[in-house]
Amino acid sequence: MQPRLWLLLAAQLAGEAGCCAHQQTPGSLMVQTNQKVTMTCETKTSLSNKRIYWLRQRQAHSKDSHHEFLVSEDFSKNITYGRGVTQRTLALLRSTTRFTLSLMHVKPEDSGVYFCMTMGAPELIFGTGTSLSVVDVLPTTAQPTKKTAPKKRVCPSSSPGTRQGLHCGLVTLSLLVASFLLLLLSLAVAVHLYCLRRRARLRFIKQ
């Protein structure tokens, strides 16, 4: 059996067994087409003398799902690429306990769950997985509408000039009313005098 076929078969069996020990971040992410994606895999112990594998599962975990071998790297930084994978499409970075996978110019067909994996003695140890979704347009979240409170009517404060004009208007109105009352009083006096003269004339004529 070819090494890659053996590896994929072992990965399938280990995935069904649910063996996960390495911590992957982020857990999930959504990016646009042609963006760069970076995910990390952290191990509990140093793996300076072991090979790290990166696999992809395109479908949700089921009997029909399977793992695709993408790339592997040993402690001497010797890299083995899977079918259709080149150094132009991904890059690797490793330390003793931290491994980084970067995908360049991702496409919608790159969507899936990515796993890091190491080979123990004898079990395979998987990472927790990073779910990647590549879309042409990121969905927009609707912003909640804010209720606008009714504005309170504020009476404008009168300026000193306005108060002075109002005072002058009241004085003028008072003078006009006083003049009108004086005119009425003068008219009443004149009418009364006229009536008195008429009565006196009538008495003189009768005599």
Whether 177 and 87 share a structural domain? no
Whether 29 and 67 share a structural domain? yes
Residues facing 53 on adjacent strands: 72, 117
The CATH number for 12's domain is 2.60.40.10
pLDDT (average), residues 78-92: 90
The pTM of the full predicted model, rounded to 2 decimals, is 0.59
Q: Domain span at residue 63?
A: 3-135
Closest alpha carbon to 116 in 96, 132, 134, 100: 100
Whether 91 and 182 share a structural domain? no
Whether 52 and 110 share a structural domain? yes
With a cut of 60, say whether residue 2 has pLDDT above it. no
135-177 pLDDT per residue, tens: 999 888 666 666 666 666 665 555 555 556 556 677 788 788 8
94-145 pLDDT per residue, tens: 888 899 999 999 999 999 999 999 887 667 889 999 999 999 998 886 666 6
Whether 167 and 94 share a structural domain? no
pLDDT at 174: 79
pLDDT at 114: 95
36-60 pLDDT per residue, tens: 999 999 988 887 778 899 999 986 6
Closest alpha carbon to 124 in 21, 4, 5, 43: 21
